[in-house]
Amino acid sequence: MLKQFMLFLGPNRARALFLLLGFTGLGNLLMNVIVNENAWARDVQTILVFVFLIGTSIIIISALDSYERGRWIGIIAPVIGALLLCVIFFPPALPIVLGGGVGWIFAGVFLFRPRTPDEYKKAVRALRKSEYSEAVKNMDMLIKTEPDNPFHYRFRAEVLRVWGKLPLAKRDYKKMTDLAPDMAVAWNGLAEIELQIGDYKAAHVAALKSYQLAPDEWVAVYNLGAIEDRLNIPQDAIEHLRHALNLKIPDARHRMLAHLYLARAHARLKDYSSAEEAVKKIQGLYSGIQEWRSLMKSDQATTLRDFIEADVNTATALADGDLSVQELQ
């Protein structure tokens, strides 16, 4: 939960939140030392608490898209305003106002629930029918009305990827990185597109950025290792793929490919015993090979087949003993 929250904030906002916590926390500790000697110390403590609450609200709300930002301002602003008025004019009523504020926040979450735009619903229905042009058209209309929402570009990019329009998908991921430069998923998506297009150096730059923003997210680390496999950087690939596996890659098919890239990296370094160990892992994850083959049968998997089929065939040959690690380089 905490890790996801830090990823949501991004490194700059997370740093600002920790500095705010440190500043107000230290201030409160200092006031505790002198509170018995100076009556005004209690007022300073109250002010520091409000500085923390308001600062935290600003930091979190600034990470939201425009719709969610307005929604949460509408929920939280009345509570902070009521608490400030209470502290200044009616301090004895603070517990009652605080309880009412908490109740309002819970009620506001349900009263102001976000509505899924109709364009999203229509785009999803079109995508399920493989009507890619119609899906993109609906997202075009939504983006025209909400041009600053990075998640709209992400959804359109995913539709374009399935459709095989990789340059257009790349355009949308680049727009995401412009709108939300601290969003790891934007850089990760851009890295995947560059990898599929075949621009491995550009993919590596984007993947490194994603990794810097989310070093403990397996997808970011796995993609970085996979790109380093393509770039023939075996030492870095080994480091990052091991890290990805330590982060518990959830599905067998990606764990299998991680071990394939590890086997190839070790073979390139002439460490054939380590490569053989990786092959044993591939054999133990044969279900991952079958998962990939099942996915590649889909009508929507043309781009996926073009990109991953050769790796799946290599993993199959290694697992079946038709390819040796000495031939893997």
* Those residues with Cβ within 8 angstroms of residue 154's Cβ, 6 or more apart along the chain or in another chain: 172, 173, 176, 185, 186, 189
pLDDT (0 to 100) of residue 316: 97
Range 130-138 average pLDDT = 94
pLDDT at 1 over 60: no
Token digits for 276? 């053989």
pLDDT (0 to 100) of residue 44: 73
User: How many whole angstroms separate alpha carbon 84 and alpha carbon 144?
Assistant: 40
Mean pLDDT of the chain, nearest integer:
85
pLDDT (0 to 100) of residue 30: 76
CATH number of this structure's domain 116-181, picked from the four choices 3.20.20.20, 1.25.40.10, 3.40.50.850, 2.40.50.140: 1.25.40.10
pLDDT at 58 over 90: no
* Those residues with Cβ within 8 angstroms of residue 261's Cβ, 6 or more apart along the chain or in another chain: 225, 226, 229, 237, 241
Residues of the chain above pLDDT 70, percent: 79
pLDDT per position as a tens digit, 151-200: 999 999 999 999 999 999 999 999 999 999 988 999 999 999 999 999 99
pLDDT per position as a tens digit, 257-277: 999 999 999 999 999 999 999
pLDDT (0 to 100) of residue 7: 57
To the question of pTM greater than 0.75 for the whole model, the response is no
Token digits for 21? 């916590």
Three-state DSSP state, 310: helix
User: How many whole angstroms separate alpha carbon 186 and alpha carbon 253?
Assistant: 23
pLDDT per position as a tens digit, 70-86: 666 766 777 777 766 76
Domain spans, the chain: 2-111, 116-181
pLDDT per position as a tens digit, 88-123: 676 666 667 667 766 766 666 555 565 667 888 899
Angle at 262 between CA 259 and CA 267, to 5 degrees: 130
Query: From the CB of residue 270, how many other CB atoms can be counted at a distance below 10 Å?
Result: 9
